[in-house]
A and B are shown apart, each in its own frame.
Chain A
Amino acid sequence: MGERVAQHVQNTILRDYCNKIRAEYLLSGTEYAMENSFLMLNELTNEIPKINGIVTFSLFQLPKEYSLRNNIYKNILMQNGELHFALEGLSIITNTDIKRIEDIWMVRQTLPKCPENIINTEKNERQ
């Protein structure tokens, strides 16, 4: 979603999250920088069930398009894998978890159409 966090900071947060959920942190995969590239994520998804799941830095690293996100969720869950989001401390472990994540996505994608600034009308009138 257009934000950037230094990779070593992402790794620190991923490591810390894995400690918290008592998961073994294996190796960090870095997605290619090209817009809409999910090649590394797909590659990691194919590693399940050899690995238990995937921890992403943020849930907003997933594709912007719902159908692509949903494919990722289904792919991981079908293989009994888990998808975690370290920054948010949220996860998808069963089908029912998807709604929670998708509600956040929907609101996030709607917010640019909502008020972003506060206009103090009383103050403006006085000027």
Chain B
Amino acid sequence: MNNKNLFLSNNENKICNKYLDQGYVVAPVVDIEALSWIRQKFIFIIREELCIPDNALDSDILNFTHESVSIPELNDFRLLVIKKINSLPDFRKKYYQVAKSYLDIIVGNELSMQLKINLSIQFPKDSSSLLPIHADTWSGDSPFEVVVWVPLVDCYETKAMYILPPDANQTLNNNFKKMAGNSSDDLYNSVQECVNWIEIKYGEVLIFNQALPHGNRVNEESETRWSLNCRFKGVFTPYADKKIGEFFEPITLKPASECGMKYSLPNITE
């Protein structure tokens, strides 16, 4: 597909076409300071929690977390870290800044953002934190949402996540009953030849269409994956089960919208 919208720049058209063709865009983070702020906060929390010596490299602390935390301890550790990071007042603002330039192009500039950012930690050989193949829309997300996925480490091969591209998803949708079999694993097996494993480095951001099937498998690499994910959507686009207030919050309302929402015609009754 090579649609060209005359109102957009060449670069904007390129990003839009990539998103439509692949179902995702991987791009360098423009506001690298915001990303670095986020990563440093994680490093600080991990150093504090795991009493890691000062001379350990930041990238090693993340890539080799599995050497300091056992698999049974992992979920409690993850919850503790995410609770601490979500309590930082600037965290969501920085997260938005990391993806802002691409969200403006793919979603719009008047946005709703998920209230809590999610954290995924994937230890090597750990089958307890798997995310089986799914599309978020299958469990009540609006198809107007995108996921901003930010890795804190380089992700490659099985340390990364996969996504089913739009054309293969169309085939799946047309033959879902036959292809899904009896379990999510049957479903994955029926599409595994078609999925794209998304290689992404720290310093890049992934924005993907969560209505396309995606997930991860057991991390067979030797390093731990740390990644964050958070949903964004146009503030006035349809919501599904994840409602404004309890899940989403408007973050960039424009003055014209504010005026419009507050507007009422003059009252001519006594």
| A interface residues, Cβ below 8 angstroms from B | 58-60, 85, 87-90, 100, 103-104, 106-111, 114-118
One of B25-33, B100-108, B174-182, B231-239 contacting the partner? B231-239
B191 within 8 A of A: no
Which residues of A sit under 8 angstroms from B238, Cβ to Cβ?
114-118
Range, interface on chain B: 10 to 19
With A103-B250, A107-B250 as known contacts, state yes or no: A118 contacts B143, CB within 8 Å. yes
- The dominant DSSP class at the B interface is loop
Q: Indicate if the CB atoms of B239 and A87 lie closer than 8 Å.
A: no
Q: Closest Cβ of chain A: how far from B249's Cβ, in Å?
A: 6
Q: A103-B250, A114-B237, A118-B143 are in contact. List 13 more A-B contacts (CB 8 A).
A: A58-B246, A85-B245, A88-B115, A88-B245, A90-B245, A104-B244, A107-B236, A107-B244, A109-B261, A111-B239, A115-B236, A115-B237, A116-B238
| Complex A-B: 16 CB contacts under 8 Å | A58-B246, A87-B246, A89-B115, A89-B116, A90-B115, A90-B245, A103-B250, A103-B253, A104-B250, A106-B253, A106-B261, A108-B245, A110-B260, A111-B236, A111-B239, A118-B238
| B interface residues, Cβ below 8 angstroms from A | 112, 115-116, 143, 235-239, 244-246, 249-250, 253, 258, 260-262
Q: Closest Cβ of chain B: how far from A51's Cβ, in Å?
A: 24
Q: Closest Cβ of chain A: how far from B230's Cβ, in Å?
A: 15
Determine the residue in chain B with the shortest Cβ distance to A109.
Answer: B261
Q: Please measure, in the bound complex, the distance between the C-alpha atom of A60 and the C-alpha atom of B244, giving whole angstroms.
A: 10
Determine the residue in chain A with the shortest Cβ distance to B143.
Answer: A118
Determine the residue in chain A with the shortest Cβ distance to B262.
Answer: A106
Interface centre among A103, A114, A115 (most CB of B within 10 A): A103
Q: Indicate if the CB atoms of B261 and A104 lie closer than 8 Å.
A: no
